[in-house]
Amino acid sequence: MAKLYFYYASMNAGKSTNLLQADFNYRERGMRTILFTAAVDDRFAPGTIASRIGLSADAIPFGPDTDLAAIVTAQERPACLLVDEAQFLTAAQVDQLAWLADSHDVPVLAYGLRTDFLGELFPGSARLLAIADALVEIKSVCMCGRKATMNLRVDESGHAVTAGRQTEIGGNDRYVALCRRHHSAALAGTLRIDAGFEPTN
Question: Do 126 and 100 contact (CB within 8 A), yes or no?
Answer: no
| Total-model pTM | 0.87
pLDDT tens by residue, 57-94: 899 999 999 999 999 999 999 999 999 999 999 999 99
CATH class of domain segment(s) 4-137: alpha beta
Residue 175 pLDDT greater than 90, yes or no: no
Say if residue 91 carries a ligand binding annotation.
Answer: no
pLDDT of residue 64: 96
φ, ψ for residue 16 (rounded to 5)? -65, -35
Interior CA angle at 117 toward 115 and 119, to 5°?
Answer: 45
Segments making up each domain of the chain, as ranges: 4-137
pLDDT tens by residue, 111-132: 999 999 888 999 999 999 999 9
Query: What mean pLDDT do residues 193-201 have?
Result: 44
DSSP designation for 115:
B
pLDDT tens by residue, 4-44: 999 999 988 889 999 999 999 999 999 999 999 998 866 66
pLDDT of residue 113: 93
Say if residue 92 carries a ligand binding annotation.
Answer: no
Q: How far apart are CA 180 and CA 135, in angstroms?
A: 20
Residue 149 pLDDT greater than 70, yes or no: yes
Residue 95 pLDDT greater than 90, yes or no: yes
135: closest CA among 116, 110, 118, 107?
A: 110
- Residue 50, strand partner residues: 56
Torsion of CA 14, 15, 19, 22, to 10 degrees: 60
Residue 180 pLDDT greater than 50, yes or no: yes
pLDDT of residue 163: 78
The bridge status of strand 33-38 relative to strand 60-62 is parallel
For 100, counting Cβ atoms within 10 Å of its Cβ (0-12 exposed, 13-18 middle, 19+ buried), the class is buried
Question: Do 198 and 176 contact (CB within 8 A), yes or no?
Answer: no
Low-confidence winner among 100-104, 123-127, 137-141, 194-198 (lowest mean pLDDT): 194-198
Residue 143 pLDDT greater than 70, yes or no: yes
Q: What SS3 string covers 133-194?
A: CEEEECCCECCCCCECCEEEEECCCCCECCCCCCCCCCCCCCEEEECHHHHHHHHCCCCCCC
Say if residue 12 carries a ligand binding annotation.
Answer: yes
Residue 50 pLDDT greater than 90, yes or no: no
φ, ψ for residue 50 (rounded to 5)? -130, 140
Residue 137 appears among annotated catalytic residues: no
Higher-pLDDT residue of 155 and 102 is 102
Q: How far apart are CA 7 and CA 15, in angstroms?
A: 7
Question: Do 165 and 120 contact (CB within 8 A), yes or no?
Answer: no
Catalytic-labelled residue, pool 28, 76, 85, 198? 85
Say if residue 184 carries a ligand binding annotation.
Answer: no
